[in-house]
Amino acid sequence: MVEMIERRSALAGLLPMGAPARTDGVRIEELEDALQLQLFARNGKSGELARVVARFLKRKKPLAPLESAEQGGIFICAVGPREYWVLARGRSSAKNLGALEKVVKDHASVFEQTDGRFVIRLSGPRAADVLARGTSLDLHDPERPDAWGSHTLIEHIPALVLRHMHKSAAVYNVSVPRSYAGSFVAWLR
Amino acid sequence: MSGQSHRLPSGGRIDRSKTVRFSFDGRSYEGHPGDTLASGLIANGVHLTGRSFKYHRPRGITTSGSEEPNALVTTGEGGRTEPNVPATMVELHDGLVARSQNRWPSLSFDLMAVNSLLKPFFPAGFYYKTFMWPRSFWYRLYEPAIRRAAGLGTIADQPDPDVYEHSYAHCDVLVVGAGPAGLMAAQAAARAGARVVLADERAVPGGHLAGEAIEVDGRDSAAWAQGICDELDGLENVQMLLRTSVFGRYDGLTFGAVERVGDHLGNDSSGDLRQRRWTIQTRQFVCATGAIERPLVFGDNDRPGIMLAGSARHYVNQYGVLPGRKVVVATNNDDSYLTARDLARAGADVTLIDSRREKDVTGHALLPGETEVRYGQCVTQTCGKLHVSSARLADISEPDHIRSELPCDLICTSGGWNPTIHLLSHCGARPKWDSAISAFAMAKVENGVHMVGGAAGTFELQKCLQEGVAAGVAAASACSRKARKPAAPKTEKLPEYRIQPLWRLPDTISKASASFVDFQNDVTIADLELADREGFGHAEHAKRYTTLGMATDQGKLSNVNAIGVLSELRGTPIAETGTTTYRPLYTPAALGTLAGQRQGAEFRATRHSAMHQWHEKNGAVFTEAGLWLRPYYYPREGEDFAAAVKREVLNARSAVGMVDVSTLGKIELKGPDSGQFLDRLYINSFSKMKTGRARYGVMLREDGMVFDDGTVTRLADDHYFITVTTANASGVMQHMEFCHQVHWPDLDVQFCSVTEVWAAMAVAGPKARDVLSRVVDGIDLSNEAFPLQSVADARIGDAFVRVLRISFSGELAYEIYTPADCGLGVWEAIMEAGAEDGISAYGTEAMTVMRTEKGHVAGPELDGRTTADDLGLGRMMSQRKDYIGRWLSQRSGLTGAGRSQLVGLKPITNSDTFRMGAHLVTEPGTIGPDVSQGHVTTSVYSPACDHFIGLALLQDGRSRTGERVYVASPLHNEQVEAEVTGPVFVDPDGERMRG
């Protein structure tokens, strides 16, 4: 019997990709330990789910559309009507993730997406400029909250962009279906 | 300054401390940073820059902007060759290489200029009337010859080594044009806190102020513009896009633009970014695009040395070059008096010819005392060979009578100014004739659009500045920014702009010499007269008849003059003569810029499965399935396609094979109503299927035709997992969303795509169980414990796997699903475990062969025209429940006799082959839509049968087993006799897959 099966990221062999001149001022890294869940509210439970999620995030108000917030290493974004995207990192977040699943289980169906998508983090002063080469999202919209997320296309590749602030600087986590890894990295180059 | 014979000793906004070297037609010249190719050529006394499109007449530099119709050159070498570039927009850099176009053997001696002598034979639309006989010559001779002669430059014959990219920008206020009005608008909006994008096609800000010698706010106009620009550049809420041509306006307030990032740097290493295409989305649009001067139309008005008046002073003031020393300024408006003043100040001997009466003129005061002015006169014709040498003058009241001939080396001409309204026209706005400025202008604009300055028909500088401020404040306010209205800066007093249109001179002059209306397409007044005579006098008709305004300059100089001429010819007001519609692109863009990064292998995104690396390593030849790349077959040394596929099939049938099926669409459903939801989607039932079981399912469209098929697996009472076809995965997902959101929002079911989450592989063959038993931990794979259609969770090593016992190949088979990150590891583990049984991978072609041998339908049969019954799946259609497509599938047309039904085909002679798409007929030698009784949907060589087999859709096919038909492909002149069989060729009782 086989004992160990190697887990292999979609970006294996593609990153790091060096530092092309046009991405100066941008730090690009893969979040190899990213865990991702999709939550869909059960019929008639979207209000309750919003409140449960807000309580989990220790917020007074539910998340506004496309707003995102973080608690205990877990980012939750209201990416669509009755739909939330959850991004957590590593084993330290696994326990909190379990707690989240427990509190939402009566109000939502939970779908595991971790293996289906890789997450690339872009940070640095020119991170938004790099993203703007591919996505039509307004990355500097002053009317958006500090932390937000949105499904989009990046150079025709489906992606979910999740932004949050870290030390007053914008950080973008981009979740992309794993089959597009080669094309996405080619675009990033 | 050696060789720069026309460079002024001082002045201009160039960097005289540095020299750049460039070449034109192989000859080296010198210029300065800040020069364009046009100013550099003029500085060196080069006025002849090209030959015209049709008649090969000598042409020179006419303008100083992107509207240039004559000085079109080819720049660069090798893969960087770019034809038809206006010399006026090329920034000089060291090593720039430029060549003239459309001449042979040389620019000064062009044999094709013989066309000019043949002009009477080449009137407008000549190709509509000639070359009609003999008819067959059109395709063989005339059209190829005309095509060879057409066009100006020649495109590169090597790959473009440069890099292009796309980018998006969003703003509150987009200001197009960094002239006086645009700068004021951007400054006012930016100071109010609005997010501003300011774009201008030129390298320096200021618009036409960059080429003026006037004062704004007590400073030199260009320095003032640069000061505003510097302020804006320092603001975080402003994005400056100089060297950026906004080429089109699209839905809403979305704009396309091209930024020339590296053109002016002269980089010659590959990989440098050359141009960036912007998509700009704005909330408010300030159109400050300025105005374009139009020429006067007179005899031989196209000679080198004839230039627009505004451009001539631009060359003097911005570039410090004097285009001519003996100058005639021919005009009908007051703006040209600035030109006469500036050229005279620069040392030229200027004579001003104004077609108006003296009392209508406001610009006298600008002129130096020694400047000669002749009122009420006009230039009727010019002389010269490769350069203008004199102008013939006549009284405007007697234009047929030449009063004098003035020697000159430069004629500056101005017929007035046209507001640049292209970006509004792109979205359908129709301009109106404004007789006060004798030009078309936008009388009304929609909300969110602000017209200012020259674009709005305002030609007085002070008013332009005021309009800019007002528009900036209004635009910012519309974006909820609190804006104070600052005072516009003061300018020096300039004469009021007045004009008296002069569209054309009498027929005698236009007949004696060519009076060009459209320089780029060689359209003359005589051509317009012909168009009008033949009933094509409306502006839109004349455009198409003569090709006026159709070249890369889009008629920027010619359209209004043509409408004025047509108006006179028809005797109708200009407003009734019609206008043409400007369309994107405002200026040409390189194809590379439009493509951006989507070139070569990255022309479109490709999708790879988790095992792609293994397939590559093992020599797979790939095929496209949507965006996916799937292994088609795995040739071994010495094998061709047929041999590889045969080996793969035989191995799976006799031992064990494995195929990557990760590309199947996968959807997970949760919620208490999941089963009911699936019952309504599929023709068969799933709500009562036991947990841990899987079943084949078929979906119909609303119209009763088959939509998709796949397997449905029940993982828990309220949890299902379905697979759908690779190509239709997103379509099924959309269908499910529509059904849930529109038809049955009351059902408590949630679902999402998990295609990417799972890697999947099918292990098939008589030894499949033996192989998997060596690696799968946690389930008993024996037939008794795990029969066909079973599902169970297990492990391979430490990886989770879900095992489904289902078969597409007809063999004992299992589908293994594992989290995608484990896909490659699990695949390799199975390969290793199967080595002793001779396991090999097989591709999609072997899969097609095996499913055809088993009579399983796939894409070619699910072509949108077949019902479940046509495909032999009628018994699956539940009579006890409702589902999408049920009622329409019972229409008489879908159930009566004559339907095409799925059958098998085998050739009567084993060695015969037939093609997919071939028709089925009953009589040999006949073919046609009326005799075809069906067609072949799939044809493959079957190793099990050792001959070709096929699936086909044949009228009433199921009742025709044993009948002989002819499989005909008239396109290939093929006809084969075949026997109609049942669709299953191998193991009709299914013993193998149940084994």
The per-residue pLDDT for A15 is: 80
Partners of residue A42 in chain B, C-beta under 8 Å:
671, 748, 750
Q: What angle do CA B662, B711, B811 make, to 5 degrees?
A: 75
B732-749 pLDDT, tens digit each: 999 999 999 999 999 999
In chain A, domain spans = 21-188
Smallest Cβ–Cβ distance between B166 and the set A3, A133, A182 belongs to A133
Query: In Å, how far are A155, B334, B388 from B323, measured between CA atoms?
Result: 47, 21, 12
In chain A, residues with a C-beta closer than 8 Å to the C-beta of B757 are: 112-116
Tokens of B472: 């900036």
Q: What is the DSSP letter of B131?
A: S
**Global ipTM:** 0.97
Class for domain B612-663+757-850, per CATH?
Answer: alpha beta
The percent of chain A in helix, strand and coil, each rounded to the nearest 5, is: 25, 40, 35
Q: What is the pLDDT of residue B152?
A: 85
Q: Is B267 on the interface with A (CB under 8 A)?
A: no
Q: Please tell me the CATH superfamily of domain A21-188, with its number.
A: Probable tRNA modification gtpase trme; domain 1 (3.30.1360.120)
Task: Give the sign of the dihedral formed by CA B324, CA B325, CA B331, CA B335.
Answer: positive
pLDDT at site A21:
44
- Write out the DSSP string of A151-173: EEEETTEEEEEEEEEETTEEEEE
To which residue do tokens 């095509």 refer? B147
Partner-chain contact A179 B822, CB within 8 Å: no
CATH architecture assignment, domain B504-599:
Orthogonal Bundle (1.10)
Q: Closest to A178 (Cβ–Cβ): which among B796, B820, B832? A: B820
CA dist., res. B420 & res. B556, Å (int): 8
CA angle B537/B543/B544 to nearest 5° reads 100
> Do the beta carbons of residue B78 and residue B156 sit within 8 Å?
yes
pLDDT, one tens digit for every residue, chain A (189 residues): 788 999 999 999 888 765 444 567 899 999 999 999 999 999 999 999 999 999 999 999 999 999 999 998 999 999 999 999 999 988 778 888 999 999 999 999 999 999 999 999 999 999 999 999 999 999 999 999 999 999 999 999 999 999 999 999 999 999 999 999 999 999 988
pLDDT at B86: 97
What is the least distance, in Å, from the CA of B800 to any CA of chain A? 10
**CA separation, residue B257 to residues B169, B280, B774 (Å):** 10, 8, 61
**Pure H helices in B887-943:** 892-895
Which one of 3.60.150.10, 3.30.980.10, 3.40.640.10, 3.10.20.440 gives the CATH number of domain B20-116?
3.10.20.440
Give the contacts of B541 (CB within 8 A, at least 6 positions apart).
B531, B535
φ, ψ at B113 (rounded to 5°): -65, -10
CATH 2.40.30.110 fits B892-994, yes or no: yes
Output the CA–CA distances (angstroms, integers) from residue B974 to B933, B936, B950, in the order listed: 17, 14, 16
Catalogue the E-assigned strands of B303-457: 306-308, 326-331, 349-354, 372-375, 377-384, 388-395, 402-407, 410-414, 417-419, 432-434, 439-441, 449-451
The verdict on domain B163-291+419-478 having CATH code 3.50.50.60 is yes
Distance from CA of B467 to the nearest CA of A (A): 28
Query: What's the rounded Cα separation, in Å, for the pair B712 and B950?
Result: 28
Q: Report the CATH number of the B665-753 domain.
A: 3.30.70.1400
Q: Which of A2, A42, A181 sits opposite B748 (nearest CB)?
A: A42
Query: A152 to chain B: which residues are within 8 Å by CB?
Result: none
* CA pair distance B308, B314, nearest whole angstrom: 10
Tens digit of pLDDT for each residue in A55-80?
999 999 999 999 999 998 999 999 99
Shortest alpha-carbon distance between residue B245 and chain A (Å): 18
Q: Which of A5, A157, A184 sits opposite B797 (nearest CB)?
A: A5
* Yes or no, beta carbons of B273 and A22 under 8 Å apart: yes
Contact B58, B300 (CB under 8 A): no
d(CA B640, CA B97): 50
B758 touches A at CB < 8 Å: yes
For chain B, the farthest-separated pair of C-alpha atoms sits apart, in whole angstroms, at 114
- Among chain B residues, CA nearest to A38: B752
Rg, chain A, Cα only: 17
Residues of chain B with pLDDT under 70: 1-2, 269-270, 507-511
The phi, psi pair for B354, rounded to 5°, reads -115, 125
State the CB neighbour count (10 A cutoff) for residue A48. Answer: 15
Q: From the candidates A24, A33, A109, which should be mutated to test the interface with B, based on the most B CB atoms within 10 A?
A: A109
Contact assignment for B166 to A113 by CB distance below 8 Å: no
CB B381 within 8 A of CB B515: no
Yes or no, beta carbons of A179 and B799 under 8 Å apart? no
- B752 to A135: CB separation less than 8 angstroms, yes or no: no
Residues of A in contact with B173 (CB under 8 A): none
Amino acid at B810: G
Question: How many Cβ pairs closer than 8 A exist between chain A and B?
Answer: 143
B positions 623-682 inside 8 Å of A (CB): 628, 668, 670-671
Nearest Cα residue to B876 out of B697, B723, B720: B697
A-chain residues near B280 (CB < 8 A) = none
Query: Measured between CB atoms, does B174 come within 8 Å of chain A?
Result: no
End-to-end CA distance of chain A: 41
Q: Is B744 part of the contact surface with chain A (CB cutoff 8 Å)?
A: no
Separation in Å, CA of B819 to nearest CA in chain A: 6
Cβ atoms of residues B472 and B198 within 8 Å: no
- What is the side-by-side strand order in the sheet with B750-753? B694-700, B706-716, B719-724, B665-670, B750-753
What is the helix (H) or strand (E) element at residue B51, kind and residue range? Answer: strand B48-51
